[in-house]
Amino acid sequence: MSARNAEAWRTLPNVPPTHVVSGEVYTDHGIFVAEKERIFGRCWHLACHESELPNTYDFRTFDYVGTPLIAVRGRDGIIRTFINVCSHRGAKIIHEPAGNAERLTCFYHLWSYDDRGACVDMPRPEAYHGVGLTKEDCGLREVRTEAFLGLVFINMDDDAPDLTGYLDGALDSFAPVLGSGELEVFHYNQSILHANWKAWQETNLDLYHEWMHVLLRRTQMKAASMESRVVKALKNGHTAAGGLKASYEMYKGMAKRDTDMALPGLVPDDFFFADIWPNVAILARGTAIRIDVVIPIDEQTMLVEWRGLGRKGDTAEQRRLRMRHHNQYWGPFGRNVPEDAFASEACEAGFRGGAAAYQILAREENGAGQDDGMMRAWYAEWSRRTGRSAAQPTAAVAAE
Amino acid sequence: MSARNAEAWRTLPNVPPTHVVSGEVYTDHGIFVAEKERIFGRCWHLACHESELPNTYDFRTFDYVGTPLIAVRGRDGIIRTFINVCSHRGAKIIHEPAGNAERLTCFYHLWSYDDRGACVDMPRPEAYHGVGLTKEDCGLREVRTEAFLGLVFINMDDDAPDLTGYLDGALDSFAPVLGSGELEVFHYNQSILHANWKAWQETNLDLYHEWMHVLLRRTQMKAASMESRVVKALKNGHTAAGGLKASYEMYKGMAKRDTDMALPGLVPDDFFFADIWPNVAILARGTAIRIDVVIPIDEQTMLVEWRGLGRKGDTAEQRRLRMRHHNQYWGPFGRNVPEDAFASEACEAGFRGGAAAYQILAREENGAGQDDGMMRAWYAEWSRRTGRSAAQPTAAVAAE
Amino acid sequence: MSARNAEAWRTLPNVPPTHVVSGEVYTDHGIFVAEKERIFGRCWHLACHESELPNTYDFRTFDYVGTPLIAVRGRDGIIRTFINVCSHRGAKIIHEPAGNAERLTCFYHLWSYDDRGACVDMPRPEAYHGVGLTKEDCGLREVRTEAFLGLVFINMDDDAPDLTGYLDGALDSFAPVLGSGELEVFHYNQSILHANWKAWQETNLDLYHEWMHVLLRRTQMKAASMESRVVKALKNGHTAAGGLKASYEMYKGMAKRDTDMALPGLVPDDFFFADIWPNVAILARGTAIRIDVVIPIDEQTMLVEWRGLGRKGDTAEQRRLRMRHHNQYWGPFGRNVPEDAFASEACEAGFRGGAAAYQILAREENGAGQDDGMMRAWYAEWSRRTGRSAAQPTAAVAAE
Amino acid sequence: MNVASGQLSREQAIRETVYRSCMALDAEDFSAFLDLCAPDLEYTVTAFSPEIRKEMIWLEQDLEGMRALLEMVPQHLKRLGTLKRHVSVYLIDDGNDGIAKVTSSFIVTHTDPQGRSQLFVAGTYCDEVDCRGERFLLRKRNAHLETRDLGIGSHIPI
Amino acid sequence: MNVASGQLSREQAIRETVYRSCMALDAEDFSAFLDLCAPDLEYTVTAFSPEIRKEMIWLEQDLEGMRALLEMVPQHLKRLGTLKRHVSVYLIDDGNDGIAKVTSSFIVTHTDPQGRSQLFVAGTYCDEVDCRGERFLLRKRNAHLETRDLGIGSHIPI
Amino acid sequence: MNVASGQLSREQAIRETVYRSCMALDAEDFSAFLDLCAPDLEYTVTAFSPEIRKEMIWLEQDLEGMRALLEMVPQHLKRLGTLKRHVSVYLIDDGNDGIAKVTSSFIVTHTDPQGRSQLFVAGTYCDEVDCRGERFLLRKRNAHLETRDLGIGSHIPI
Ligand code: FES
Ligand code: FES
Ligand code: FES
Ligand SMILES: [Fe+3]
Ligand SMILES: [Fe+3]
Ligand SMILES: [Fe+3]
What pLDDT sits at residue A399?
Answer: 76
Asked if residue F3 has pLDDT above 90, the reply is no
Q: What is the whole-number distance in angstroms between the Cα of residue C343 and the centre of ligand 6?
A: 9
Average pLDDT, chain E: 95
| Residues on chain C touching A23 (C-beta within 8 angstroms) | 90
Mutate which of C106, C112, C119, C140 for ligand 3? The one with the most ligand atoms within 8 Å of its CB, which is C106
* Inter-chain CB pairs, C–D, below 8 Å: 104
pLDDT tens-digit readout, E26-69? 999 999 999 999 999 999 999 999 999 999 999 999 999 999 99
- C-beta of residue A290 within 8 angstroms of C-beta of residue A282: yes
Closest CA to B201 of B292, B80, B72, B268: B292
Closest CA to A72 of A92, A51, A94, A57: A57
pLDDT higher for B89 or E3? B89
User: Whose Cα sits closest to atom 1 in ligand 3?
Assistant: C89
Q: How far apart are the first and last CA of chain B?
A: 43
Q: What is the whole-number distance in angstroms between the Cα of residue B209 and the centre of ligand 5?
A: 6
Whether F32 and chain A come into contact, CB under 8 Å, resolves to: no
Q: What is the whole-number distance in angstroms between the Cα of residue C79 and the centre of ligand 6?
A: 33
Compute CA B249 distance to the chain's CA centroid, rounded to the nearest angstrom: 30
d(CA A215, CA A205): 18
Whether A255 and chain E come into contact, CB under 8 Å, resolves to: no
**Which ranges of chain D have pLDDT less than 50?**
1-4
- What residue of E is the nearest CA neighbor of B190? E149
Burial of A123 (0-12, 13-18, 19+ CB in 10 A): middle
* Inter-chain CB pairs, B–E, below 8 Å: 105
pLDDT tens-digit readout, C221-252? 999 999 999 999 999 999 999 999 999 999 99
Asked if residue C62 has pLDDT above 60, the reply is yes
Tell me whether residues F77 and A337 touch, CB distance under 8 A: no
Closest CA to B283 of B324, B319, B326, B219: B326
- Surrounding residues of ion ligand 5, Cβ less than 5 A: B 340
DSSP one-letter code for A206: -
Name every residue whose Cβ is closer than 8 Å to that of residue A121 and which is 6 or more positions away in sequence. A103, A105, A110, A111, A112, A135
User: Whose Cα sits closest to atom 4 in ligand 3?
Assistant: C109
Indicate which ligand has the atom closest to the C-alpha of A203.
4
Q: Is residue B324 left, alpha or beta, with left meaning phi > 0 and alpha meaning psi from -120 to 50?
A: alpha
What pLDDT sits at residue D6?
Answer: 56
d(CA C369, CA A1): 55
| Residues on chain A touching E77 (C-beta within 8 angstroms) | 107
* DSSP-assigned beta bridge partners for residue A63: A68
Render A369-384 in DSSP notation, one character per residue. TT--HHHHHHHHHHHH
Tell me whether residues E77 and A192 touch, CB distance under 8 A: no
Closest CA to E143 of E79, E59, E65: E59
Amino acid present at F14 = I
Asked if residue F5 has pLDDT above 60, the reply is no
* DSSP-assigned beta bridge partners for residue E86: E107
d(CA A153, CA A137): 27
Render C267-300 in DSSP notation, one character per residue. -TTEEEEEEETTTEEEEEETTEEEEEEEEEEETT
Mutate which of A84, A85, A111, A133 for ligand 1? The one with the most ligand atoms within 8 Å of its CB, which is A111
| Residues on chain D touching F84 (C-beta within 8 angstroms) | 105, 122-124, 146
Estimate the crossing angle of helix A197-205 against helix A373-386, to 10 degrees: 140
User: Whose Cα sits closest to atom 4 in ligand 1?
Assistant: A109
- Collapsed DSSP state (helix, strand, coil) of residue C3: coil
> Mind spelling out the 3-state secondary structure of chain B?
CCCECHHHHHCCCCCCHHHEEECHHHHCHHHHHHHHHHHHCCCCEEEEEHHHCCCCCEEEEEEECCEEEEEEECCCCCEEEEECECCCCCCECCCCCEEECCCEECCCCCCEECCCCCEEECCCHHHHHHHCCCHHHCCCEEEEEEEECCEEEEECCCCCCCHHHHHCCCCHHHHHHHCCCCEEEEEEEEEEECCCHHHHHHHHHCHHHHHCCHHHHHHCCCCCCHHHCEEEECHHHCEEEEEEECCHHHCCCCCCCCHHHCCCCCCCCEEEEEEECCCEEEEEECCEEEEEEEEEEECCEEEEEEEEEEECCCCHHHHHHHHHHHHHHHCCCCCCHHHHHHHHHHHHHHHCCCCCCEEECCCCCCCCCCCCHHHHHHHHHHHHHHCCCCCCCCCCCCCC
Whether D48 and chain C come into contact, CB under 8 Å, resolves to: no
Tell me whether residues F50 and A97 touch, CB distance under 8 A: yes
Given the CA of residue A343, which atom of ligand 3 is nearest to it?
1
- C-beta of residue D127 within 8 angstroms of C-beta of residue D138: yes
* DSSP-assigned beta bridge partners for residue D118: D110
Whether A384 and chain E come into contact, CB under 8 Å, resolves to: no
Whether C107 and chain F come into contact, CB under 8 Å, resolves to: yes
Q: Can you give the length of chain E in residues? A: 158
| Angle, CA A230 vertex, CA A224 and CA A236 arms, to 5° | 150
Q: Is the CB of A109 under 6 A from ligand 1?
A: yes
User: Whose Cα sits closest to atom 3 in ligand 2?
Assistant: B109
Torsion of CA C170, C176, C178, C180, to 10 degrees: 150
**Which ranges of chain B have pLDDT less than 70?**
1
Confidence band of F8 (pLDDT split at 50, 70, 90)? confident
Confidence band of F6 (pLDDT split at 50, 70, 90)? low
Estimate the crossing angle of helix A197-205 against helix A337-351, to 10 degrees: 130
What pLDDT sits at residue B348?
Answer: 98
Burial of C396 (0-12, 13-18, 19+ CB in 10 A): exposed
Q: What is the whole-number distance in angstroms between the Cα of residue C284 and the centre of ligand 6?
A: 14
Asked if residue C149 has pLDDT above 80, the reply is yes
Confidence band of A150 (pLDDT split at 50, 70, 90)? very high
- C-beta of residue C224 within 8 angstroms of C-beta of residue C158: no
Whether B342 and chain E come into contact, CB under 8 Å, resolves to: yes
pLDDT tens-digit readout, A287-327? 999 999 999 999 999 999 999 999 999 999 999 999 999 99
Asked if residue E3 has pLDDT above 80, the reply is no
| Residues on chain B touching A137 (C-beta within 8 angstroms) | 1, 13-14
- What residue of C is the nearest CA neighbor of B140? C3
What pLDDT sits at residue E8?
Answer: 87
What pLDDT sits at residue B255?
Answer: 93
Indicate which ligand has the atom closest to the C-alpha of A202.
4
- What residue of D is the nearest CA neighbor of E106? D86
Q: Which helix (H) or strand (E) holds F88?
A: strand F82-94
What pLDDT sits at residue A396?
Answer: 78
d(CA B62, CA B58): 14
Asked if residue E2 has pLDDT above 50, the reply is no
| Angle, CA E113 vertex, CA E110 and CA E115 arms, to 5° | 70
User: Whose Cα sits closest to atom 1 in ligand 2?
Assistant: B89
What pLDDT sits at residue E6?
Answer: 56
- Surrounding residues of ion ligand 4, Cβ less than 5 A: A 340
Q: Is the CB of C106 under 6 A from ligand 3?
A: yes
Q: Which helix (H) or strand (E) holds A205?
A: helix A197-205
- Across the range C53-57, mean pLDDT stands at 98
Q: Which of D1, D113, D117 sits opposite E10 (nearest CB)?
A: D1
Asked if residue A359 has pLDDT above 60, the reply is yes
d(CA B306, CA B189): 5
What pLDDT sits at residue A164?
Answer: 97
Asked if residue E4 has pLDDT above 70, the reply is no
